[in-house]
A and B are shown apart, each in its own frame.
Chain A
């Protein structure tokens, strides 16, 4: 007991001693720091790096115009290696070094892990890397999100398939990862099965990092599944297609947005499937991302340009919104002011990537309208087949 009292006493002394120094909010007279915590290594590095460079492009664009009311925007990114506990560590590090607002918040479970800290510290954040319903429902005072949830993204595709390409004796199946991401994938599946009253096979779970999907596809085949959610994160998707092509399974395939990334399309090309994907932004290479690419070419090196993909665009949009909110606060921006501007209901221009976005006090989510895309990996083309709609 003695030790504990001593500890408590010490701690008390420290907290009083340190409290004036705690005002650090990542803003000085010349700089304003916006942070990312993203998987810069691990299997998700393909998307994490892209999101990081998206932020960098937005900052470079603002800085080329003289910064935000005279302050230069600095992007600081911590690597979480796709591990939620490290997302927490990354945020602690950001807080320590001073950060004004946050864009990249790790993948799903990472975002969930840091939500309480964001609330405690009152850090404005725009979740954009991996949409997570829990981030905005119920509403957290300083947390915003752009993008539709995986549930909506996948449900939209299943709905499209159901209405336009429904096979005879439709039977739905899902192969999903055994983590929080996979959970969301399965929820889309369950929702679709209930809504369309179709036949369904038992969901199949696989361990994260698994490479070989021979047994899973054999199960899909023996269950007679013909509408499949291929719930892989990246290279799992082409592997599932490959195994399916072995038996020439007649499949309608729904996937998450990573399936539109060039390396994944390239890997999927030989197997004769075109598949569906869904997104809430314009695809890379389309009219909508022209402005983004133009700025990117001016501000990134050759190597860095190669790392860009769809996740760079969402990172860009979110960072751009954060910068604009800060700009609207004038000469002495505070976190509270940035949050107020974000939820003011005023429009934020996204340079054509989406329609202008808004948040409101009772709605911290935006850009939830989903468009179903048809992906032809052989041609390397991503074609929208529906308009943006809410699901």
Chain B
């Protein structure tokens, strides 16, 4: 049995991690992620890229919803804003992709001020639906402002390079997304351990109490919006790189619900949870498909008419069962396993 790790100073308490074991595991994971694409197919690489982009978006949403407690159903709108910014700047204004990607974050962040200011007084689901309303208005604008956004025709971007990477190659795109995801995760972890991050948590736990302690609700709620949307905008920009053809159809309400599902299933308020959730929600439909493929061909051909519905059924069922077992999400499950492991054989 491993003894507990005692934190003795405040500095140690807010350090990213003072545990060499954690550091080495993280290092190993990174090595695995770098080696992974060399040993697999392009489709799995593309899937991993999707997971990476979703994770960046989920990390962003988690800052707003999980950490600060401001529920957002507007993820699709901010993703769309980022995605269109990058795509249009590259396709119509010949911006270098590097700048266009950063612009995606900036535009999305600025837009979040437009959403954030009228939402300052709102809480809980009222806020959720307001952000959803903004998301609908954003996609409506993208569809109807044809002279700027190409409206229903969508935007196509040609082959592009990014700091010497050729993004048409699945592997090189994967490495770009991986790099951005790592930066995003580290940035988020660092934000959360500063005064700003602790203020966010205080607002989530009790906003009036937070205010009494001298935290400006206006300032910090808006910061949460801006920081979160910057991440989400970047994720949107990466989507433009990935698809190279975008139109508003993908930015629907289900995308926002899915994003929310990621952080709930993963674990609210935790960066690792957001990543786990993104992995889970993106891979679940693929996993159900693999399960079905394992069945004997006789059964699969019998099911062929409704194969997609059966996948949906399994997806929904898995989410429900997972929450039944561990309502605090995957990160809770992870902690339980860790506790069991470290306390063994005394664990219950």
Contact = CB atoms under 8 A, between A and B. Distances in A.
Do A and B touch directly, given a CB cutoff of 8 Å in the complex?
yes
Interface of A: 1, 3-5, 7-8, 10-11, 14-15, 17, 40-41, 49, 79, 82-86, 88-89, 92-93, 95-97, 109, 112-114, 116, 120, 178-180, 182-183, 208, 301, 303-304, 307
Nearest to B251: A85
B196 interface: no
B154 A304 contact: no
Contacts, number: 110
B309 interface: yes
Chain A to chain B: the 3 pairs with minimum beta-carbon distance, closest first: A96-B43, A113-B245, A4-B163
Contacts of B165: 4, 7-8, 11
A112 B239 CA distance: 17
Given A85-B249, A116-B245, A303-B305, 13 more contacts: A4-B165, A11-B169, A49-B305, A85-B239, A85-B243, A92-B43, A92-B170, A96-B41, A97-B43, A109-B154, A179-B152, A179-B247, A307-B305
A112 B245 contact: yes
Contacts of A4: 163-165
18 contacts: A3-B179, A4-B164, A5-B164, A8-B165, A8-B172, A14-B171, A15-B171, A41-B312, A84-B250, A89-B46, A93-B43, A96-B41, A96-B42, A97-B43, A179-B249, A180-B247, A183-B153, A307-B305
Given A93-B43, A96-B43, A8 B250 contact: no
A79 B169 contact: no
Contacts of A112: 153-154, 156, 245
Contacts of A116: 156, 158, 244-245
A82 B250 CA distance: 10
Contact of B247 (A93, A109, A307): A109
B176 interface: yes
B175 A7 contact: yes
B186 to A, nearest CB: 13
A84 B163 contact: no
Contact of B154 (A8, A95, A113, A303): A113
A113 B155 CA distance: 9
B10 interface: no
B308 A79 contact: yes
B38 A180 contact: no
Contacts of A83: 249-250
A88 B43 contact: no
Contacts of A14: 37-38, 171
Given A11-B175, A15-B169, A85 B305 contact: no
Contacts of B246: 85
B292 interface: no
Contacts of A92: 42-43, 46, 170
B292 to A, nearest CB: 13
